Amino acid sequence: MTPRTIIPLTALTLVLGGCQHSAAASSPQDPMPQTPAPFASPPVLPGTPDIATLAARVKPAVVNITTVQEVRTPHSGFNAPDMPDIFKFFPHGPGGIQRFGGGEGNGDEVMKQQALGSGFLVDPQGHVVTNAHVIDGANVVKVKLADDREFRAKVVGKDDRLDIAVLELESAPHDLPSASLGQSEATRVGEYVVAIGNPFGLGNTVTMGIVSAKGRTIGAGPYDDFIQTDASINPGNSGGPLFNLRGQVVGINTAINPNGKGIGFAIPIDAVKQVLPQLLATGHVQRGRLGVVIQPMDADLAKALGLDRTHGALVEDVESGSPAETAGIKPGDVVMSVDGQGVP
């Protein structure tokens, strides 16, 4: 989950008093009259996207997610018998973490930790898609819509391998707005994209960028195939949608590179669409298994194997008793195509 971090920001307030200009002592003046705007509606320059209209259309389907996780820890017994419990003076604990239990030095202490995330509605019945890590370990999940309605939600399905979870709003109407799911495969590098989410608790934040790259590997697991974007993504954006200019979701914002700026990663929506029906129907995902360890082909490997191109995948290892072993696949084989489709 993405812990909520409160960053203290100093609010600058202008205090008018003491030293005054002579005009301040005069009688109040009439407000400045409103002058006509140069344009009846903001102009959209040729070749530039109308992000304001796009955001207005798609924001109703985007939600903010708040989770509460209870963490039990053994009572420390730090306070001496004649020493007051310091938590009595700080009932919400440090950093907004609330402490329960452990009274008089007995039993476990229960810390309630709040975390934030984003998501989007995928049907009028109130099913929400988000990242699995957003709701991982949560005891309470709350979802807030763009119109400020708030609902409790239950987890109806989760796929940790892809980092996808599906929530269902409790006691929600069945006429909710829902997002349109696009095709990430058809998305091109360089296309404009828009991210909407809940960074640092700032709900309905809209940022814009482009698709910087596709097929990125970031060490996130077996399904490591991400869209890279420079649209601003921050803690709290996890699980939120990445839209194309047609207003379709093409990715789910999931991770950032903490050492860079403008380097964010989204799960391709095509991968989500493959597992979504199973998550809605059964709550989990069943996948086919080959039982092989592969690595991509590079120029050195291709030359060593006598190949004239770098396409294909090299089989490093074969699991004993696996379907791959039964089919006769051996370490050192190069897979050139699967089901008639070439392996790049």
Mean pLDDT to the nearest integer, 254-260: 89
Is 264 within 8 Å of 225 (Cβ atoms)? no
Is 192 within 8 Å of 76 (Cβ atoms)? no
Catalytic choice (127, 133, 184, 232): 133
Whole-number Cα distances in Å, 128 to 122, 165, 201, 339 = 6, 8, 18, 33
Q: What is the pLDDT of residue 338?
A: 84
Whole-number Cα distances in Å, 256 to 46, 208, 227, 240 = 32, 15, 11, 13
Q: What is the pLDDT of residue 231?
A: 96
Q: Note the pLDDT tens digit of each residue in 199-249.
A: 999 999 999 999 999 999 888 777 889 999 999 999 999 999 999 999 999
Token look-up 């997610």 returns 65
Q: How far apart are CA 55 and CA 148, in angstroms?
A: 17
Query: SS3 of 71, please?
Result: strand
Q: How far apart are CA 237 and CA 199, in angstroms?
A: 5
Q: What is the pLDDT of residue 33?
A: 73
Q: What is the pLDDT of residue 13?
A: 32
Provide the whole-model pTM.
0.71
**Is 238 a catalytic site residue?**
yes
Strand 108-121 with 127-130, pairing: antiparallel
Catalytic choice (163, 184, 230, 333): 163
pLDDT surpasses 50 at 31? yes
- The distance of Cα 305 from the centroid of its chain, to the nearest Å, equals 41
pLDDT surpasses 50 at 317? yes
Exposed, middle or buried by CB within 10 Å (0-12, 13-18, 19+), for 164? buried
**Six token digits for residue 174:** 């069945």
Q: Which helix (H) or strand (E) holds 285?
A: none
Supply angle C-alpha 262, 266, 268, rounded to 5: 145
Is 310 within 8 Å of 299 (Cβ atoms)? yes
Binned at pLDDT 50, 70 and 90, residue 35 comes out as low
Q: What is the pLDDT of residue 107?
A: 61
Residue among 138, 174, 163 nearest 153 (CA): 138
Whole-number Cα distances in Å, 9 to 6, 12, 15, 196, 337 = 9, 9, 18, 23, 55
pLDDT surpasses 50 at 5? no
Position with higher pLDDT, 162 vs 103: 162
**Is 300 a catalytic site residue?**
no
Catalytic choice (184, 212, 232, 238): 238
**Is 163 a catalytic site residue?**
yes
Q: What is the pLDDT of residue 28?
A: 57
Binned at pLDDT 50, 70 and 90, residue 14 comes out as very low
Is 168 within 8 Å of 156 (Cβ atoms)? yes
Residue 284 carries which side chain, given as an amino acid letter?
H
Binned at pLDDT 50, 70 and 90, residue 95 comes out as very low
pLDDT surpasses 80 at 267? yes
Q: Note the pLDDT tens digit of each residue in 108-161.
A: 777 888 999 999 999 999 999 999 999 999 999 999 999 999 999 999 999 999
Q: How far apart are CA 255 and CA 267, in angstroms?
A: 9
